[in-house]
Chain A
Amino acid sequence: MGRYILRRMGFYLIAAWASLTLNFVIPRLAPGDPAAAMFARFEGKVAPEAMGALKAAFGFTDAPLYAQYFTYLKHLVQGDLGMSYAYFPARVTEVIGTGLMWTVALAGVAVIISFVLGSFLGVLAAWNRGGWLDSGLAPALAFLGAFPYFWLAMLALYLFGFVLGWFPLRHAYGHDMEPGLSFAFAADVARHAVLPASSIVVATLGGWMLGMRNTMVATLGTDSIRLAHARGLPPRQVMLRYAARNALLPNVTSFGMAVGFVLSGSLLTEIVFSYPGTGYLLILAVRNQDYPLMQGLFLVITLAVLAANFAVDLICLWLDPRTRAHA
């Protein structure tokens, strides 16, 4: 088992290196000159003569690619992600730091709620096949999930924020709040998170539920479940410990991937609700051809996805005895 884990770790290290390298190559294949794009942001407020000096200040180099690659790796190891072009002269780590916590908290919590709740509902739906959960809620959630997320979020914002005034229209906390470990602040953050988090949950719940329901239905038809029933075990124990545990595997695997979307895919949530996260930084970085910021964000996303997948591997190991037998 220890060897299995070591092998997986080795695999993830190679995957990390490969994605770091892609991370370096891809932005450099994009068309356009970042210096020109940056200069463009001043819309004529800067004399053209300053352009050469600007290039020097930003450290745009004509060094050969391999040399740039080694500099990139060296700085990475030192935890130096360079300076952002779009937010010059702020460090990339500082820029990412402004939003990372909020994105992780909001989207992370929403994805976990959606996964847990959706899987649980899926188990119940399959157990009571043909019941209202199965024939009513599941199609309704699938229907909601089919709407474009942007539209769903705007609708929630308009209805519950603007018209009814139940929830704030924007931001992660009130601008007159003092952030800290106080109950008032926590309540304020929670109040601000309700709309964005529930819109993510509503949009993704159906997927988890249906996925879980379908594998669960298949599992319920197997001999082991029939045997468990025959042994006279309590139904709840059969449902959760025998059927659900086995049916959960595919959903757990998808969960590992969903974590990646937590960091990149909450872009729309952040735009609609003015949530101060990293998703919006990513699109700004792309627009401004801000390579260092892009690379920094991709790095964070890559590492998060790899870490999540590693965690999923470990969970599968625990859930599925077969993996253990082969290890």
Chain B
Amino acid sequence: MRFARALLPLALLVACSSEPRPRPPGVLFVSVEQQSAWVRNFNPLFAGAGARWPTRAGVYECMEIFSSAQGKWVPWLATGHAWSEDQLTLRFNVRDGVLWSDGKPFTADDVVYTFGLLKQHPALDAGGVWRFLTDVKTEGKGTVAFTFSRVYLPGFSDLAHQIIVPQHVWKDVADPVTFTNPEPVATGPFTQVTLFRNQVYELGRNPHYWQPGKPAVSALRFLAFPTNDQANMALVEGEVDWAGNFVPAVDRTFVSRDPAHHARWFPLYGSTVFLYPNTTRPPLDDVRVRKALSMALDRDRLVEVAMYGYTRPADATALNDAYTGWKDAEVAKDTWTHYDLAAANKLLDEAGLTRGTDGMRRLKDGQPFALDLEVVSGWSDWVRAGQVVGRDLRKLGIGVTLKTYEFGTWFTRLQKGEFQLAISWSLDGPTPYNFYKWLLSPRTVRPVGEVAAANWHRMGDAQADELLVRFERAGTPEEQHALMSQVQQRFSATAPAIPLFPNPSWGESNSSRFTGFPTEQNPYARLAPHAEPDSLLVLTQLSPRER
């Protein structure tokens, strides 16, 4: 008892000093990664590295930045680029007067050196650029020339977005793949690690940043929040200035607490969420069956129930809002993504999947038509989506069992084609080229049992592929758009996968201490900090509010 009496005053003593501490002015608090403790790693080259978030989004930089919100390329470490007449050589003009954070000049040699590293260490070549390149060399002082092995215009984005590292530092690195780069030397706005502890770290300004007067923010600070709940609580409490979290009922829980400063912008620039049917399993190889499944889905309810109404139903092009300029209006009107139970039933009847006396449909061999739908356990939005999909499909007389797996198991089954139905994302890029290639090209189809990076539904369409190959060589915007329209027609005709909704790109800002966040009215970049390298545009635009 004596012990308990001794404890009480101690507890009161420590409790008394708990008023919130003032935060240092000019220090931007960011919440992007959810981790229980920080590990010091700033390796920008190896995509598989658990590098801290700003490594590829504020510490290091690339030559040009694609702003999907503006739909255009913004010159960055390069002032511009030009293709040769035969489209086999691409030349970037390297910006003059850029310094590394240690004061040494950034040159075209650094660019050539970086691409050399990718060739030497294939693990670093995340974009696979050396599949289509034969040579990279400097021409004069400020030009880098990339020689292509074949005409492949979509390769531009892989080259422009490649992070560039300093030759004078990395030439002494023994293994660039396993290098944790604890003291980064870079060209970005924030390069100085001023604080690094297990639950907090801070990045200070690059003393030699090439954009005069920028950044206006004096430092970035990152607190470790192991769960979404903790990160959201900090955001709601005003402890975080910029975040990219999924916040349930965001308008009520966050924005309405301080409408003048709290803002969220969830543009539909994330990847498209699909219901993937395994087309190697009859009757899912029948386009009529796939379209019937699609028409049984009440997507309006689906986005309301599963996604809090943050998104809209997908149309027959499956394109998200980042590709608005590419969308073919005629294809978008196709009805196989519209809710129509009667038409869905008719399609299934035509496909020979008749209803038994119990109201359940039978396969041609008399077996009941039953499918397993696989989602990741704990991904609550997709689990809810799976429940809605299952209920809707049961109305067609199809038995659906929702199965949840741990992420690793789920993804292995998806990649190996060992599933029947699954909900998953899509592969994206600056143009819809990658998106459709991974949905439709026979070049991306792998046999069941072999790991496929996408095209998990395992379907290819030769006609679409021919159009995609022509797109690789299409020089003019008119030609590109015409080809992409035809690809969309092929997608809508073959329905290889069932689009559900475009994923929002989560972004929240608290402008009580900083101004200049992108908004729907001022969409100079995506608000989501995950949208690398868009975040470079944001970080150089923000400024502390005068008090």
* Interface, chain A (partner B; CB < 8 A): 31-34, 36-40, 42-54, 56-58, 83-84, 86-90, 94-95, 98-99, 102, 116-117, 120, 124, 162, 165-176, 179, 187, 190-191, 194, 270-271, 274-277, 280-281, 284, 287-289
Nearest CB of chain A from residue B22's CB, rounded to whole Å:
9
The answer for the CA separation of A84 and B39 in the assembled complex, in Å, is 11
Question: Does any Cβ of A come within 8 Å of B144's Cβ?
Answer: no
User: Which residue from A57, A94, A169, A288 sits with its C-beta under 8 Å from B123?
Assistant: A57
Nearest CB of chain A from residue B231's CB, rounded to whole Å:
9
The answer for the CA separation of A86 and B428 in the assembled complex, in Å, is 24
The answer for the CA separation of A90 and B181 in the assembled complex, in Å, is 11
**In the complex the two chains form, is B47's CB within 8 Å of A46's CB?**
yes
User: Which residue from A33, A167, A276, A288 sits with its C-beta under 8 Å from B37?
Assistant: A276
* Interface, chain B (partner A; CB < 8 A): 1, 3-4, 10-11, 14-15, 17-19, 21, 23-24, 36-41, 43, 46-50, 121-128, 131, 158, 177-180, 197-200, 221, 223-227, 230, 233-234, 237, 271, 406-409, 411-412, 415-416, 425-428, 444, 451-454
**In the complex the two chains form, is B41's CB within 8 Å of A89's CB?**
yes
Give the chain A neighbours of B415 by CB distance below 8 A.
36, 40
User: Which residue from B125, B221, B428 sits with its C-beta under 8 Å from A53?
Assistant: B125
**In the complex the two chains form, is B407's CB within 8 Å of A287's CB?**
yes
Q: Which 7 A-B pairs have the closest CB atoms?
A: A48-B453, A37-B408, A280-B36, A49-B128, A53-B122, A40-B411, A53-B123
The answer for the CA separation of A10 and B158 in the assembled complex, in Å, is 60
- Which of chain A's residues has its CB closest to B195's CB? A175
**In the complex the two chains form, is A165's CB within 8 Å of B36's CB?**
no
Give the chain A neighbours of B408 by CB distance below 8 A.
32-34, 36-37, 40, 287-289
**In the complex the two chains form, is B226's CB within 8 Å of A270's CB?**
yes
Nearest CB of chain B from residue A179's CB, rounded to whole Å:
7
With contacts A32-B409, A36-B415 taken as known, whether A167 is within 8 angstroms of B224 at the C-beta atoms is no
Give the chain A neighbours of B10 by CB distance below 8 A.
190
Tell me how many residue pairs across A and B have CB atoms closer than 8 Å.
191
**5 chain-A/chain-B pairs, Cβ below 8 angstroms:** A40-B411, A42-B48, A49-B128, A120-B3, A175-B223
With contacts A44-B428, A50-B128 taken as known, whether A270 is within 8 angstroms of B412 at the C-beta atoms is no
Instruction: Tell me if B's interface is mostly helix, strand, loop or mixed.
Output: loop
Give the chain A neighbours of B158 by CB distance below 8 A.
47
- Which of chain A's residues has its CB closest to B56's CB? A45
**In the complex the two chains form, is A54's CB within 8 Å of B48's CB?**
yes
Nearest CB of chain B from residue A301's CB, rounded to whole Å:
17
**In the complex the two chains form, is A99's CB within 8 Å of B46's CB?**
no
**In the complex the two chains form, is B412's CB within 8 Å of A36's CB?**
yes
With contacts A31-B409, A191-B18, A288-B408 taken as known, whether A46 is within 8 angstroms of B123 at the C-beta atoms is no
Nearest CB of chain A from residue B445's CB, rounded to whole Å:
12
**In the complex the two chains form, is B37's CB within 8 Å of A49's CB?**
no
Nearest CB of chain B from residue A94's CB, rounded to whole Å:
7
**In the complex the two chains form, is B425's CB within 8 Å of A99's CB?**
no
**In the complex the two chains form, is B36's CB within 8 Å of A276's CB?**
yes
**In the complex the two chains form, is A169's CB within 8 Å of B233's CB?**
yes
**In the complex the two chains form, is B200's CB within 8 Å of A175's CB?**
yes
The answer for the CA separation of A88 and B123 in the assembled complex, in Å, is 13
**In the complex the two chains form, is B177's CB within 8 Å of A89's CB?**
yes
Give the chain B neighbours of A172 by CB distance below 8 A.
199
Give the chain B neighbours of A51 by CB distance below 8 A.
451, 453
Give the chain A neighbours of B179 by CB distance below 8 A.
89
